[in-house]
Amino acid sequence: MVVGRFQVMATLQAARAYELGLPLESALSWGLNRAIFYAAAKRGFKGKSPMTGEFHAARERVGAEAPDVYYLGDDMAFKEERNGKTYFTIGGKLQTEEDFERQVEARFQGLFKEAWKEALKIVRTEDPATLRSGKGFYETVYRPRRDELAEKWTRSSQLEVSRAKAAR
């Protein structure tokens, strides 16, 4: 399987959120939420999807002190509390650890822990102000590394699959 930009974004965003103090399950939810958000933003939030309406509603509520809004630095997402945990939503859909595992972790074919350690190492070298800035994070952390990490993590996961097959 290929580890693409979507998985790189989700992993780095989750590491960012974790480093900024979110518990792991919330950080994974944040990472997946932001990857979905950026994928939708790339398409221009066009059409009549729930995300389009949510995006426009969010723009109108910037700065609002709403109970369903969460700010990680200057980034904002809708949140929902379930069983004492904070999860994030987009398009009316909750992103859980299980969703992260299915849409992101599975692409690493058993090597996600190594990628997670690398993502944490990357974000821990950044200035906290960069981590608190959505644009700063995108421009300084994600964008310069996205293709390199996607290629590296794809190679590693494919190599692991080849080793597993050879061991059979």
Tens-place pLDDT, residues 98-150: 999 999 999 999 899 999 999 999 999 999 999 999 999 999 999 999 999 99
Confidence of residue 48 (pLDDT cuts 50, 70, 90): low
Return d(Cα 165, Cα 67) in angstroms, integer.
Answer: 50
Q: Please indicate, yes or no, whether the overall pTM of this predicted structure exceeds 0.75.
A: yes
pLDDT of 56 above 60: no
Percentages helix, strand, coil for the chain (3-state, rounded to 5) are 65, 10, 25
Confidence of residue 165 (pLDDT cuts 50, 70, 90): confident
Q: What is the pLDDT of residue 54?
A: 54
Rg (the chain; Cα; Å): 16
Confidence of residue 51 (pLDDT cuts 50, 70, 90): very low
Buried b (16+ CB within 10 A) or exposed e, 138-164: beebbeebbeebbeebbebbeeeeeee
